[in-house]
Structure 1
């Protein structure tokens, strides 16, 4: 017998609305950077801000305008001062990587029919984690090559991977915990439903909360974590 889903019907229009706003937000930030000629010091930083729209929606625009927007002369965005706002900015690479990894891993796992213990959720979690570690490590290497106050050298491959792994482990406490909560409460929609993607966006936010202490610690170290 199939159990009735615990996902309320009203969540579907909410999901479609926020998903639409998320795409438009990412498009707005991309247009402001490339059409508005507000380029950053690296493409990696630009992609992080654009990706923030995929899970923060319109809130990403407000955050971008206050913390990520550059002048038309390509001057760097606000410098890191060690304040909570800087840690929030430093969380964006992980959040963006997770959002993009979901877009890649979920359809792939479904397409190939990959399951573990009869569930597609486990391979999704594994593949997403691997992709996020790779993307965050690459971001750290690329972004750290740019001149930064108090950071005189580029992160080594080992330091970049180490920072990425620590970030992802802390992030997954929230993200995986959220997915398990949905699964065991029969509230995990099919991947073809808008509610699935909306709930994954919420999961990214939960992951940012659990990842905050780790990123704050890494940011306090001279050689780890590069804010967007």
Structure 2
């Protein structure tokens, strides 16, 4: 990421960034181990990946969300899912978009830097573009896969067009926050180089900001009975 000669990023942010990044990786390992080593499998691999990738940006908060919504006793999961309120359902349903964005950052940022791709002299613009495209593709695949089979109680998944439309709407709303955050950092000389931990920490915070702007879109899609699949609890048979 292009950066001016003088940066306004405070020195104290570096240890904070590395602490949070380390905690996030530990949380990723915890959720992955709980699912695959302790065999608390979900009915959809796509949903398992949503819970794992949620820790990439939520850190310890992902553990709390996973224990409450992702891992439930097999005998009580269905009843617990029925009692989940609208706000909680939407909060969980927005996680796939966050995971798609987090993974898209891990792919797009190094790729753009490696090829030296710039628009108007800045690497930030192609990064934003590629992240958005990758996020739409991954989220559409998730919607397509997670809406089919035993998980959603359907004989077949939703159409590709419906999955892409839902993914596009979600990512567009998500990017209001994410892109706004990146622009705010850039124009205030707060965007560190991509090889510094502070950059990735600030991108984690950007994904969380994106969750807040993506929330209303996901809520609208759920209310309109459009395609946004809520990650199921372990052992549940529907959303």
Alignment TM class, shorter chain as reference: over 0.9
1:69-80 equivalent positions in 2, closer than 5 A: 69-71=71-73, 79=81
State TM-score, norm by structure 2: 0.89
CA distance in 2, matches of 1:82, 1:122: 38
Identify the match of residue 209 of structure 1 among 206, 209, 212: 212
What do residues 32-53 of structure 1 show as CA deviations (whole Å, max 9, x unaligned)? 0111111001100000000000
What do residues 115-167 of structure 1 show as CA deviations (whole Å, max 9, x unaligned)? 00000000000000000000000000000003467878631111100000000
CA RMSD, Structure 1 to Structure 2 (Å): 2.0
Residue 219 of structure 1, CA deviation: 1.3
Which residue pairs with 1:170 in the alignment? 173
- What SS does the aligned partner of 2:149 have? coil
State TM-score, norm by structure 1: 0.93
- What SS does the aligned partner of 1:226 have? coil
CA distance in 2, matches of 1:227, 1:85: 10
- Greater Cα shift, 75-84 or 112-121: 75-84
Query: Residues 30 and 149 (structure 1 numbering): CA distance in 2 closer, same or farther, change over 3 Å?
Result: closer
Identify the match of residue 18 of structure 1 among 20, 30, 33: 20
What do residues 145-198 of structure 1 show as CA deviations (whole Å, max 9, x unaligned)? 034678786311111000000000000000000000000000000000100000
CA distance in 2, matches of 1:151, 1:217: 22
Which residue pairs with 1:98 in the alignment? 101
Contact 2:44 2:151 (8 Å CA) reproduced = no
CA distance in 2, matches of 1:77, 1:201: 33
Greater relative contact order (Cα < 8 A, sep 6+): 2
Q: Work out the number of aligned pairs and report it.
A: 226
Which residue pairs with 2:45 in the alignment? 43
Contact 2:7 2:192 (8 Å CA) reproduced = yes
1:175-214 equivalent positions in 2, closer than 5 A: 175-214=178-217
- Greater Cα shift, 122-131 or 140-149: 140-149
CA distance in 1, matches of 2:226, 2:47: 18
The runs of 5 or more residues in structure 2 that have no matched partner are: 232-239
Residue 77 of structure 1, CA deviation: 9.7
CA distance in 2, matches of 1:169, 1:113: 26
